[in-house]
Structure 1
Amino acid sequence: MLRVLETGSRIAAGFAFVALMVAVITQVVGRSIIGDSPVWTEELTRFALLYLAAFGAGLSYRSGELVNVDLICEALPGAWPHRLRLLSAILTAVLCLGLILPAWKYTSIGALQTSTALGWRMDAVHATMLVLLVSLFVFSLGRAVNMLCGRTDGFPERRPGDDR
């Protein structure tokens, strides 16, 4: 299940990045060649960045690209680093779970609003917070479960070919 979510998140982040590139290129060409860029490019850029962050946050947690302050934790003796990685995964899952309902309410408020330039319903944009929290919840819960089952040591998962 985590692999399916990872693949889906990678594809969605890729689409968001393509949308971001199209909007920015349109802005640059519009401003430098035409003298004015379409107004919708500003909104699309912001929305694409939100989706990129939403789909990328869980992936970053899974791969270890999020900021880690493990300098002290990993220097502790014995099983303490493992315990702290487990505690961190559990606390991340609990925090995300606690924020999912408020994010759902925030998203539903957007159904009553539309964006100015694109005319999109804002619940489609506000849903980025829900996507981010659900993604982080699933990946952190997956890490905690895998640690408790002894399938992983709690370090971020590296993909084949990663040289770091």
Structure 2
Amino acid sequence: MKLILAGIDAVNLLLKYVLALLLVMMTVGALGQVIVRFVVPLFGFNASAAWTEEVARFSMIWTVFLGAAWALRHGELIALDLVTHAVPRMLGIAIKALAYLSCAAFCLLLIVVGLEFAEIGEIERSPVLGLSKWYVFMALPVGAGLMVMNIAGFLLACIIEGRDPRGSLDAVAD
């Protein structure tokens, strides 16, 4: 089981670097758009960099889905933990585990739906970059697949390490 967890953590290490690259791309795209739209005209030039908007948008889409997957591995997505901490410990853990398993089932559905969207996107192209929308739409099934993997990793780590999947209310108070 620890080998499976090590594999999941290796994927997440790569995912962390991909997320950093996507954030840089998104920032460069948005900053480029601001410079071209507001700074360059101050010097008497009218320029257009339509590609910056698509780069920023597509990077943001991938960042959202991959970032949510990465956050699931660490149990860092927003959650309402008040109820799971108000009930007896074992009941709270069962509720939290059921919530994670329900989330995994929903993510499996997202994979199926996302693949259908990506298939439709194969024939569509982005207006400026001419990029197949398949690359953009694949963010949904890839992200959902990584979410399922990280939900399994989070629950597996809780079992192996004897951690409480509900987390600590002390972290919320800080």
Matched, 1:120 2:131: yes
Aligned position for 1:16: 22
Q: 1:65-80 residue pairs with structure 2 within 5 A? A: 65-80=76-91
Structure 2 residue runs of 5 or longer lacking an equivalent are 1-6, 42-46, 168-173
What is the alpha-carbon distance in structure 2 between the residues aligned to residue 33 and residue 147 of structure 1? 51
Answer yes or no: is the 8 Å Cα contact 1:90–1:144 preserved in 2. Answer: no
| Equivalent-residue separation in structure 1 for 2:72 and 2:9 (angstroms) | 14
Which of the pair is proportionally richer in helix? 2
Corresponding residue SS for 2:81: coil
Q: How big is the alpha-carbon RMSD for the aligned residues of Structure 1 and Structure 2?
A: 1.9
The yes-or-no answer on 1:27 pairing with 2:33 is yes
User: TM-score scaled to structure 1, two decimals?
Assistant: 0.86
Q: Is the 8 A contact 2:74 2:154 kept in 1?
A: no
Q: Match of 1:8, as an amino acid?
A: L
How many angstroms apart in 2 are the aligned matches of 1:4 and 1:155? 24
Shift of 1:155: 4.4
- Retained in 1: the 8 A contact 2:108–2:148? yes
Structure 1 unaligned regions, length at least 5: 157-163
Q: 1:26 touches 1:37 (CA, 8 Å); kept in 2?
A: no
For 2:109 and 2:30, the matched residues in 1 are separated by 36
How has the CA–CA distance of structure 1 residues 48 and 121 changed in structure 2, closer, same or farther, with 3 Å as cutoff? Answer: same
Asked whether the 8 Å contact 2:108–2:144 carries over to 1, the reply is yes
Deviations 1:44-96 (A, max 9, x none): 11101101112101112222331101111111113111111211121111111
TM-score (normalised: structure 2): 0.81
8 A Cα contact 1:23 1:44, kept in partner: yes
Aligned positions, number = 157
- Go from structure 1 to structure 2 and tell me whether the alpha carbon gap of 1:30 and 1:94 turns closer, same or farther (over 3 Å shift): same
Answer yes or no: is the 8 Å Cα contact 1:2–1:142 preserved in 2: yes
Q: Give me the whole-angstrom Cα distance separating, in 1, the residues matched to 2:109 and 2:33.
A: 39
Q: Residue 108 of structure 1 aligns with which residue?
A: 119
What amino acid is aligned across from residue 127 of structure 2 in structure 1? Answer: T
What is the deviation of 1:39?
Answer: 1.0
State the structure with more CA Rg. Answer: 2
CA offsets 1:107-128 (integer angstroms, 9 cap, x no match):
1211111100111111000011
